[in-house]
Chain A
Amino acid sequence: MRLTLRVWRQTGPGEPGAMTEYQVSGIVPEMSFLEMLDVLNEELILRGEDPVAFDHDCREGICGACGMVINGQAHGPERTTTCQLHMREFGDGDTIDVEPWRAAAFPVVKDLVVDRSAFDRIIGAGGYITAPTGSAPDAHAVPVPKEAAETAFENAECIGCGACVAACPNGSAMLFTSAKVVHLNTLPQGAPERESRVLGMVGAMDAEGFGGCTNAGECATACPKGIPLPSIAAMNREYLRAARRAPR
């Protein structure tokens, strides 16, 4: 396949950027999208040009490092991560637009690389269970109903890629934050910190400059892991409950 790529190039944070056009050939359907970019980058290196910077690591859809807006969609046309998108989804002669996540809370670092450290700070604000090493009771001391375990798991699957934020017209991080709140608040082990967790995480989310939720639902559509949209409503309930109880 031969393709025309229009790729966002930006040399550094706060620098101006622009879409730049490249031709790539020799692309086969079995290649992943990132392997296609590898081909482009090797050509650029040999031409003495700066290769396109992008984040990636596992290339298995689990680390959450990769992420680009492809033809206007977060992670492209398939509901998966960019690294698991394969070129068989495209046709010979296609023109493909490749851009970074765009969100106020995710400043561009270079080209397709953005700064998602806000996510780490949201987790630090309560996205954990306080259980210092050595303090744990036997694992079977507290049985967890299978249903609760599955709800927790479903939400714990979030890979923190940021597609939800990129897809949201408001740049909101509600799906990401709610996934962790629901994961931990569903488990008996998470109950003691149930309120401080949701208050802390939502507070951090707002402080990081993510937008509000207007129920557009784009986040869940873009999520490669299928984090359920109702988690947002569940988090809102947790928040209201906690806010009511919090000492004023």
Chain B
Amino acid sequence: MKHRTAHTPSRTAPQTAARTAPRTPRYSVGSPIADTKAPDGPVERRWDQRRFEARLVNPANRRKHTVIVVGTGLAGASAGATLAEQGYRVTQFCYQDSPRRAHSIAAQGGINAAKNYRNDGDSVRRLFYDTVKGGDFRARESNVHRLAEISVEIIDQCVAQGVPFAREYGGLLDTRSFGGVQVSRTFYARGQTGQQLLLGAYQALSRQIAAGAVEMHARTEMLDLVVADGRARGIVARDLVTGRISTHLADAVVLATGGYGNVFHLSTNAKNSNATAVWRAHRRGAYFANPCFTQIHPTCIPRSGDHQSKLTLMSESLRNDGRIWVPKARGDTRPPERIPEDERDYYLERIYPSFGNLVPRDIASRAAKNVCDAGQGVGPGGQGVYLDFADAVARMGREAVEAKYGNLFEMYERITAEDPYRAPMRIYPAIHYTMGGLWVDYDLQTTVPGLFAIGEANFSDHGANRLGASALMQGLADGYFVLPATLNDYLARAPHQPVADDHPAVAEAVAGTEDRLNLLLAVGGDRTPDSFHRELGALLWDECGMSRTEAGLRKALERIPELREEFWRRVRVPGGGAQLNQSLEKANRIADHLELAELMCLDALHREESCGGHFREESRTEDGEARRDDDRFQYVAAWEFTGPASAPVLHREQLAFDHVHPTQRSYA
């Protein structure tokens, strides 16, 4: 923070910037940050070294420490269960009626692990390499290597818990391939891998709840973080049934609250997924890293109209056997079966012959957008491409296709009333995942001491693009293995004087929360919360979605504050605060989305390069592919909040690549 310099985002065209930028600078630059916790030395020894250096809490003393875990998805449930097994007292929260319903339940395709059970050349090193490359060289080598190492243990752990992974006739585990890699390392449970992994973690958590080691608060939403004397010491939460606001104090707080894809309104995330926990933590001092790194998934069911409330993913695993194509001719309205082979453009196979339909997500999504923009799209509004299983059915037989993808085909048919065994699916990209999140060091600790972030809520391991089946791996790595080790160290080192209930920080957080809810209830305007969410989402999708331009981002940065102002003037939230009030819950989350959206656009504007999911039209190669700018942007952008009306501060964490040499990604 010492060396702040006022900065307008465009260095290439300062004059334009001066004319179009508002009077206050949009951000300033602060001191760089370093991930100080990762040990030096060979990358494959760092995690071992860190664990060895970490202090331990004497088992007899663990009962004296309370840890708050917010979230019960893969990351939160695995962390809560493991911490309780170690002997800590855990207080855990989720806003669903049961921890088992966290958004992780919806993950379909699978989880990666470098088991090399297939003997197809996989290894920890290769998973490490694939992930760094897949992330377009914007992730930390130390973190990614650790993730690859731990991947192996995760599968063991889940099998021991009774997760019913797919198996072969010999009784051994089956695997499949996913985008961006050439080995078969994805373990799966039909199309319901997230469900099965989450139930495994939920059951382990339930055992601890029943044993009294975890105090579980379902239907309870964290609305603020309590930072007392410079450390995260608790949260303010609202009981969603009674509306009661309460505080919970602890020695450390862990956020496992998932991603913020729902800022876009339409996404594949569960309807209630939201950014409040991470955004409130950001406002309390936790830096927010790479907010513009959002992932667009290439294979989702296209939207069918304005009523659409969410989008449904068709697992990427389908690209193993399905072939993606569009008609060669523009505006070809013939039904797919009437379009002869030679009039079809299997564009992924054509442009990327070695990876074909299995190129990484960002590439597949942009390619779909390009063919649709060129007028070759199919279905209503030309916003779709075909994902065709005719060849797979001919090759493997319908039964084999059904065994692999049955539930996905069923879901597709249920939603569209079309039978994918007979006609190709229509798919289109949609917002799916957020690589950005709270900045964390190697220990997964944020810039607020005592506040940790795990799972999709942090930014750590996927760089600018996440590979398929790697989020489940990361969530469970964080929760089962990484956090329990590093949190030990924090608790062993930090002195924890109890925080009194009447500590000024507590009173201030509670009062702030109550004021805000009362304010929302008092507006009494003429627009529904959803109408604002839709408008914000459409704006972001257009200007900060699959491709981004300086002009578009500037436009969004003008519009978002206006929309926010309008929200606080015109929103209507019926009912009161002391009851189950779903409109109030929603409005409160949208209020935070309206702030986070601005930071996302600012981050996207400042990053004048294309990398991974962040595609700036100004930065591309001659053949239209993303062009990274390593000289200027080989860093993590960590943003510091400085106040509601003042510009954020950018802290850069430079990335070093000692083991995987940055190249322009090529999947051709």
User: Which segment, of A163-171, A182-190, A228-236, faces chain B?
Assistant: A182-190
B411 within 8 A of A: yes
User: Which segment, of B92-100, B130-138, B366-374, B462-470, faces chain A?
Assistant: B92-100
Q: Which of A139-159 contact B (CB under 8 A)?
A: 139-140, 142-146, 149, 152-153, 156-157, 159
Q: Are B309 and A160 in contact, with the CB atoms below 8 A?
A: no
A12 / chain B contacts, CB cutoff of 8 Å: 579-580
Q: Are B156 and A86 in contact, with the CB atoms below 8 A?
A: no
A246 within 8 A of B: no
Q: Are B580 and A133 in contact, with the CB atoms below 8 A?
A: no
Bound-state CA distance A65–B156 (Å) is 30
Bound-state CA distance A202–B538 (Å) is 50
A-B residue pairs in contact (CB < 8 Å), sample of 21: A38-B530, A39-B307, A45-B528, A45-B529, A50-B574, A51-B583, A55-B97, A58-B105, A59-B271, A62-B106, A110-B579, A110-B580, A128-B207, A129-B162, A130-B207, A132-B82, A133-B78, A139-B155, A140-B172, A149-B164, A190-B162
Which 8 interchain pairs have the tightest Cβ spacing? A143-B171, A124-B210, A128-B203, A136-B160, A131-B160, A136-B156, A153-B164, A139-B159
| Contact residue among B192, B309, B580 (Cβ-Cβ distance under 8 Å from A34) | B309
Q: Are B98 and A128 in contact, with the CB atoms below 8 A?
A: no
Q: Which of A46-101 contact B (CB under 8 A)?
A: 46, 48-51, 53, 55-65, 80, 84, 86, 88
| Contact residue among A127, A144, A157 (Cβ-Cβ distance under 8 Å from B206) | A127
Bound-state CA distance A156–B81 (Å) is 20
B309 / chain A contacts, CB cutoff of 8 Å: 32, 34-35, 38, 59
Q: Are A65 and B167 in contact, with the CB atoms below 8 A?
A: no
User: 17 other contacts beyond A129-B160, A131-B160, with CB at 8 A cut-off?
Assistant: A31-B307, A35-B309, A44-B574, A50-B574, A62-B105, A65-B101, A117-B97, A120-B206, A123-B100, A123-B203, A123-B206, A129-B161, A131-B204, A132-B82, A139-B115, A146-B168, A159-B105
| Contact residue among B98, B103, B190, B196 (Cβ-Cβ distance under 8 Å from A160) | B98
Bound-state CA distance A205–B196 (Å) is 23
Q: Which of B85, B166, B168, B207 has the most CB of A within 10 A?
A: B207
Q: Are B305 and A58 in contact, with the CB atoms below 8 A?
A: no
What DSSP secondary structure best describes chain A's contact surface?
Answer: loop
Q: Which of B36-85 contact A (CB under 8 A)?
A: 78, 81-82, 85
| Contact residue among A44, A48, A80 (Cβ-Cβ distance under 8 Å from B414) | A80
A227 / chain B contacts, CB cutoff of 8 Å: none
CB distance from B59 to the nearest CB of A (A): 13
A113 within 8 A of B: yes
Q: Mark B383-417, 1 if CB is under 8 A from A, else 0.
A: 00000000000000000000000000001001101
A137 within 8 A of B: yes
B355 within 8 A of A: no
Bound-state CA distance A50–B583 (Å) is 9
Bound-state CA distance A86–B218 (Å) is 29
Bound-state CA distance A152–B99 (Å) is 22
CB distance from B213 to the nearest CB of A (A): 11
Q: Which of B128-171 contact A (CB under 8 A)?
A: 153, 155-162, 164-171
Bound-state CA distance A130–B194 (Å) is 20
Bound-state CA distance A41–B165 (Å) is 40
B196 / chain A contacts, CB cutoff of 8 Å: 153, 156
Q: Are A144 and B171 in contact, with the CB atoms below 8 A?
A: yes
A28 within 8 A of B: yes
B317 within 8 A of A: no
CB distance from B5 to the nearest CB of A (A): 44
How many residues on the A side are at the interface (Cβ–Cβ under 8 A)? 78
Nearest opposing residue in chain A for B208, CB measure: A124
Bound-state CA distance A183–B189 (Å) is 13
A84 / chain B contacts, CB cutoff of 8 Å: 411, 414-415
Bound-state CA distance A188–B445 (Å) is 38
Bound-state CA distance A164–B167 (Å) is 29
B449 within 8 A of A: no
Bound-state CA distance A31–B415 (Å) is 9
Q: Are A62 and B271 in contact, with the CB atoms below 8 A?
A: no
Q: Are A124 and B415 in contact, with the CB atoms below 8 A?
A: no
Q: Are B204 and A144 in contact, with the CB atoms below 8 A?
A: no
CB distance from A165 to the nearest CB of B (A): 14
Q: Are A42 and B528 in contact, with the CB atoms below 8 A?
A: yes
Chain B positions within 8 Å of A, measured between CB atoms, are: 78, 81-82, 85, 96-101, 103, 105-106, 115, 117, 153, 155-162, 164-173, 189-190, 192, 194-196, 199, 202-204, 206-207, 209-210, 216, 218, 241, 270-272, 304-305, 307-310, 312-313, 411, 414-415, 417, 480-481, 484, 526, 528-531, 572-575, 579-580, 582-583
CB distance from B622 to the nearest CB of A (A): 41
B481 / chain A contacts, CB cutoff of 8 Å: 133-134
A6 within 8 A of B: no
Bound-state CA distance A88–B415 (Å) is 10
A25 / chain B contacts, CB cutoff of 8 Å: none
Nearest opposing residue in chain B for A139, CB measure: B159
Nearest opposing residue in chain A for B272, CB measure: A57
Bound-state CA distance A120–B205 (Å) is 10
Q: Are B305 and A45 in contact, with the CB atoms below 8 A?
A: no
A21 within 8 A of B: no
A125 within 8 A of B: yes
A239 within 8 A of B: no
CB distance from A144 to the nearest CB of B (A): 5
| Contact residue among A42, A127, A138, A189 (Cβ-Cβ distance under 8 Å from B530) | A42
| Contact residue among B159, B166, B575 (Cβ-Cβ distance under 8 Å from A136) | B159
Q: Are A156 and B580 in contact, with the CB atoms below 8 A?
A: no
Bound-state CA distance A156–B172 (Å) is 19
Q: Are B97 and A116 in contact, with the CB atoms below 8 A?
A: yes
Given A58-B105, A124-B209, A133:B157 Cβ within 8 A: yes
CB distance from B315 to the nearest CB of A (A): 11
Nearest opposing residue in chain A for B79, CB measure: A133
B194 / chain A contacts, CB cutoff of 8 Å: 62
A119 within 8 A of B: yes
Given A88-B417, A133-B85, A184-B162, A46:B153 Cβ within 8 A: no
Q: Which of A173-199 contact B (CB under 8 A)?
A: 183-184, 187, 189-190
Bound-state CA distance A145–B164 (Å) is 11
Nearest opposing residue in chain B for A65, CB measure: B101
A160 / chain B contacts, CB cutoff of 8 Å: 98, 100-101
A138 / chain B contacts, CB cutoff of 8 Å: 156
Bound-state CA distance A60–B313 (Å) is 9
Q: Are B574 and A48 in contact, with the CB atoms below 8 A?
A: yes
Bound-state CA distance A208–B202 (Å) is 20
CB distance from B329 to the nearest CB of A (A): 27
Nearest opposing residue in chain B for A87, CB measure: B307
A215 within 8 A of B: no
B199 / chain A contacts, CB cutoff of 8 Å: 156
| Contact residue among B106, B206, B305 (Cβ-Cβ distance under 8 Å from A128) | B206
Q: Are A139 and B579 in contact, with the CB atoms below 8 A?
A: no
A206 within 8 A of B: no
Bound-state CA distance A125–B203 (Å) is 10
CB distance from B105 to the nearest CB of A (A): 5
| Contact residue among A59, A140, A142, A159 (Cβ-Cβ distance under 8 Å from B270) | A59
Bound-state CA distance A58–B313 (Å) is 11
CB distance from A90 to the nearest CB of B (A): 14
| Contact residue among B82, B216, B310, B528 (Cβ-Cβ distance under 8 Å from A59) | B310
CB distance from B165 to the nearest CB of A (A): 8
Q: Are A189 and B192 in contact, with the CB atoms below 8 A?
A: no
Nearest opposing residue in chain A for B98, CB measure: A120
A119 / chain B contacts, CB cutoff of 8 Å: 98
